[in-house]
């Protein structure tokens, strides 16, 4: 009898009391964690939104609605230079602080946020968290971005840019009654096709060709989905368990199941392309007419150690290069056309520069004339200042012993970042930050004496479109080349203007009636953060000018 009653008691404990005890322990854990994070945490005194002090779900929510950059900017305005954007994260809106986080000697490294974005079994140059591993990869992958590699790729780059120009100037819908202007086109769509076609060609020697083969356009949504998944995992790594055990705990599996399927398709496809490329390289007996990046990377040896990258690493690098380069330059191109189409003085000035420096569109290529087009460069930089292509905060984790940023101690393992969009709109560096003024970037030489409102050296350092220090963009030169050639060739070939229909003009602009008050600035090109920003518009009408072939 006694035995039966103790079994009943045990069952009672298991069924009734254990869940209650577990629940109570859970509540106690959450309550103590909250109290700790608010009052005793090393960042307890740093101002920021209440919810962000408690959980990364605050940042995750803004990643979900894709307004991270606007939110952080307004938080800096509300709380000041240093804010708390997650329990263990601070953001610093200051050039000196930024250098302390990203500079060559900084005691910070990429950490768990980048691990959470990793889809491949091995690290790539982008998500390598170990500094030594990164240095090795940078030396090897960097060989694909050398000046000579770029020059060797010039004809392929120009071929894709010409396809872009032709697609935008496509005569379909040309209306002679309206002076030969073609029907409005969404520049961002064609710029995205250009970016993807170009980078797949440069990396694999085989392009997605989306500009000329509409059937291939399913590739772009895959890239967008990958970015969506990446940026959410980036904001709340603890909830995303990509590549780790306990997949059922992964928020991505629950919330983004369809996104995950597309993302996996994308990763699988790129891995396949990389493996084909490795195989082709092994069997190739003749010197190719042009070395693509895969070929350079497959054959790259570390000058110090003689090491090479193994096939798994090469697959990871291929995925990184296409994902990092597939839709970033397109934001710069689209933003530049957006701001030029709304700023007639800048438009006229750029048109004068390009059409007077080059005798024909074919003369626009790599060389000293292109690099002396300072106004062109100013137009591009100013567009990327107001609307930076990568507008999420690039988190860095403090290393052993921690680090002090603008007087705030960041203990080891805690996270700091400077946010590009907040820096680019900081009035201390860029007065009247929402005005599009390419003159800010003209060199302070006698040639521009009367018009230069040249920014200070400090403000130049605040330009973070390509980040700063050893983890800055490896493809800065390639990106500027692509941006300059695309903008210059299209400006040389055609006039452009905003369409007559207000509903078309509004695409890409802020909307004074938007339910999100942060999206109401009409003259600002709107970005949607998915690591590299998504975007729409501008819709523009083009007209081939006399002499434009």
Residue positions in the annotated binding site for heme? 473
Is the Cβ of residue 203 or residue 346 nearer to ligand HEM in the bound state?
Answer: 203
Least Å distance, CB 102 to ligand HEM, is 8
**Binding marks (x or -) toward ligand HEM, 256..295, rule CB under 6 A?**
----------------------------------------
* Interaction of residue 385 with ligand HEM, rule CB under 6 A: no
Buried b (16+ CB within 10 A) or exposed e, 447-480: ebeeebebbeeebebbbbbbbbeebebbbeebbb
- Binding-site residues sit at 473
- Contact at 8 Å (CB) between 347 and 314? no
Is the Cβ of residue 199 or residue 505 nearer to ligand HEM in the bound state?
Answer: 199
User: Tokens at residue 94, please?
Assistant: 């200051």
Is the Cβ of residue 314 or residue 498 nearer to ligand HEM in the bound state?
Answer: 314
Nearest to 418 by CA among 482, 364, 463: 463
- Contact at 8 Å (CB) between 167 and 330? no
**Binding marks (x or -) toward ligand HEM, 131..170, rule CB under 6 A?**
-------x--------------------------------
* Interaction of residue 125 with ligand HEM, rule CB under 6 A: yes
Residue showing the smallest CB distance to ligand HEM in the complex: 325
Is the Cβ of residue 37 or residue 134 nearer to ligand HEM in the bound state?
Answer: 134
Residue of 43, 85, 119, 126 that binds ligand HEM (CB under 6 A): 126
CB atoms within 10 A of CB 521: 17
Residues 6+ apart with CB under 8 A from 213: none
Site for ligand HEM in 393-432 (CB under 6 A): 394
- Contact at 8 Å (CB) between 86 and 409? no
CB atoms within 10 A of CB 329: 26
Is the Cβ of residue 347 or residue 466 nearer to ligand HEM in the bound state?
Answer: 466
Site for ligand HEM in 167-196 (CB under 6 A): none
- Going by their DSSP bridges, the two strands 494-497 and 108-109 should be labelled as unpaired
**Binding marks (x or -) toward ligand HEM, 302..341, rule CB under 6 A?**
------------------xx--xx--xx--x---------
**Spatial distance between the Cα atoms of 107 and 104, rounded to a whole number of angstroms:** 9
Count of residues near ligand HEM by CB under 6 A: 23
Is the Cβ of residue 373 or residue 483 nearer to ligand HEM in the bound state?
Answer: 483
**Binding marks (x or -) toward ligand HEM, 64..103, rule CB under 6 A?**
----------------------------------------
Residue of 87, 389, 508, 537 that binds ligand HEM (CB under 6 A): 389
**Spatial distance between the Cα atoms of 93 and 420, rounded to a whole number of angstroms:** 9
Is the Cβ of residue 319 or residue 430 nearer to ligand HEM in the bound state?
Answer: 319
Residues 6+ apart with CB under 8 A from 495: 351, 542, 543, 545
Least Å distance, CB 260 to ligand HEM, is 21
Is the Cβ of residue 478 or residue 539 nearer to ligand HEM in the bound state?
Answer: 478
- Going by their DSSP bridges, the two strands 494-497 and 185-186 should be labelled as unpaired
Distances, alpha carbon 92 to alpha carbons 81, 100, 411, 529, in Å: 6, 10, 15, 19
**Spatial distance between the Cα atoms of 391 and 175, rounded to a whole number of angstroms:** 39
Least Å distance, CB 287 to ligand HEM, is 24
Residue of 165, 415, 465, 490 that binds ligand HEM (CB under 6 A): 465
Site for ligand HEM in 468-507 (CB under 6 A): 471, 473-475, 478-479
Place of tokens 């740093």: 46
- Going by their DSSP bridges, the two strands 415-417 and 89-92 should be labelled as parallel
Burial of 255 (0-12, 13-18, 19+ CB in 10 A): middle
Is the Cβ of residue 106 or residue 125 nearer to ligand HEM in the bound state?
Answer: 125
Least Å distance, CB 473 to ligand HEM, is 3
**Binding marks (x or -) toward ligand HEM, 191..230, rule CB under 6 A?**
--------x-------------------------------
Stretch of 261-269, 432-440, 462-470, 533-541 contacting ligand HEM, by CB under 6 A: 462-470
Q: Where do the H-state alpha helices sit in 473-518?
A: 476-493, 502-505
Least Å distance, CB 298 to ligand HEM, is 16
At 222 the three-state DSSP class reads: helix
| Residue 182 DSSP code | P
Report the C-alpha dihedral over residues 208, 495, 376, 291, rounded to 10 degrees. Answer: 20
Residue of 81, 129, 467, 523 that binds ligand HEM (CB under 6 A): 467
Q: Measured at the alpha carbon of residue 319, what is the angle toward residues 238 and 321, in degrees to the nearest 5?
A: 110
* Interaction of residue 343 with ligand HEM, rule CB under 6 A: no
Is the Cβ of residue 481 or residue 505 nearer to ligand HEM in the bound state?
Answer: 481
| Residues, the chain | 549
Q: Which residues contribute to the site for ligand HEM (CB under 6 A)?
A: 125-126, 138, 199, 320-321, 324-325, 328-329, 332, 389-390, 394, 465-467, 471, 473-475, 478-479
């Amino acid at each position: 009898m006694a035995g039966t009653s103790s079994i009943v008691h045990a069952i009672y404990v298991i069924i009734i009391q254990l869940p209650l005890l577990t629940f109570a322990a859970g509540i106690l854990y959450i309550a103590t964690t909250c109290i700790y994070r608010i009052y005793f945490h090393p960042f307890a005194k740093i101002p920021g939104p209440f919810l962000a002090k408690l959980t990364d779900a605050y940042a995750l929510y803004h990643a979900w609605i894709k307004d991270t950059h606007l939110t952080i900017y307004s938080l800096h305005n509300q709380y000041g230079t240093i804010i708390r954007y997650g329990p263990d994260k601070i953001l610093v809106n200051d050039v000196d602080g930024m250098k302390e986080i990203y500079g060559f000697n900084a005691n910070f490294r990429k950490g768990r946020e980048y691990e959470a974005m990793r889809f491949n079994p091995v690290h790539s140059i982008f998500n390598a968290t170990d500094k030594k591993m990164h240095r090795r990869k940078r030396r090897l992958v960097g060989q694909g971005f050398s000046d000579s590699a770029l020059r060797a790729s010039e004809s392929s780059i120009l071929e894709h840019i010409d396809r872009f120009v032709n697609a935008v100037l496509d005569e379909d819908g040309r209306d002679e009654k309206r002076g030969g202007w073609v029907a409005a086109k969404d520049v961002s769509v064609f710029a995205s096709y250009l970016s993807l076609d170009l980078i797949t060609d440069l990396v694999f020697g085989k392009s997605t060709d989306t500009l000329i083969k509409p059937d291939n356009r399913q590739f772009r949504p895959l890239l967008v989905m990958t970015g969506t998944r990446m940026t959410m995992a980036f904001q709340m790594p603890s909830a995303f368990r990509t590549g780790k055990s306990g997949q059922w705990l992964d928020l991505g599996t629950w919330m983004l199941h369809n996104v995950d399927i597309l993302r996996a398709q994308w990763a699988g496809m790129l891995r396949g392309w990389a493996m084909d490329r490795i195989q082709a390289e092994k069997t190739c007996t003749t010197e190719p007419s042009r070395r693509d990046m895969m070929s350079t990377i497959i054959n790259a040896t570390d000058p110090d150690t003689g090491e090479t990258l193994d096939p798994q690493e090469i697959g990871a690098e291929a995925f990184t290069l296409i994902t990092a380069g597939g839709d970033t330059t397109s934001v710069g191109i689209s933003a530049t056309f957006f701001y030029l189409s709304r700023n007639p003085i800048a438009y006229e000035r750029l048109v004068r520069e390009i059409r007077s420096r080059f005798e024909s569109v074919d003369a626009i290529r790599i060389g000293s004339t292109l690099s002396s087009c300072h106004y062109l460069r100013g137009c591009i930089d100013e567009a990327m200042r107001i609307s930076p292509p990568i507008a999420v905060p690039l988190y860095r984790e403090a290393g052993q012993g921690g680090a002090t940023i603008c007087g705030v101690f960041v203990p080891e393992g805690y996270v700091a970042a400077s946010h590009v969009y907040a820096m680019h709109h900081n009035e201390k560096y860029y007065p009247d930050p929402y005005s599009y003024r390419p003159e800010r970037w003209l060199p302070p030489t006698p040639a521009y004496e009367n018009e230069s409102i040249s920014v200070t050296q400090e403000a130049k350092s605040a330009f973070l479109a390509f980040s700063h220090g050893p983890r800055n963009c490896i493809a800065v030169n390639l990106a500027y080349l692509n941006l300059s050639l695309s903008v210059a060739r299209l400006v040389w070939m055609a006039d452009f203007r905003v369409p007559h229909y207000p509903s078309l003009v509004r695409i890409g602009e802020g909307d004074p009636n938007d339910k999100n008050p942060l999206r109401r600035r009409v003259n600002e090109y709107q970005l949607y953060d998915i690591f590299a920003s998504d975007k729409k518009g501008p819709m523009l009408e083009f007209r081939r000018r006399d002499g434009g072939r």
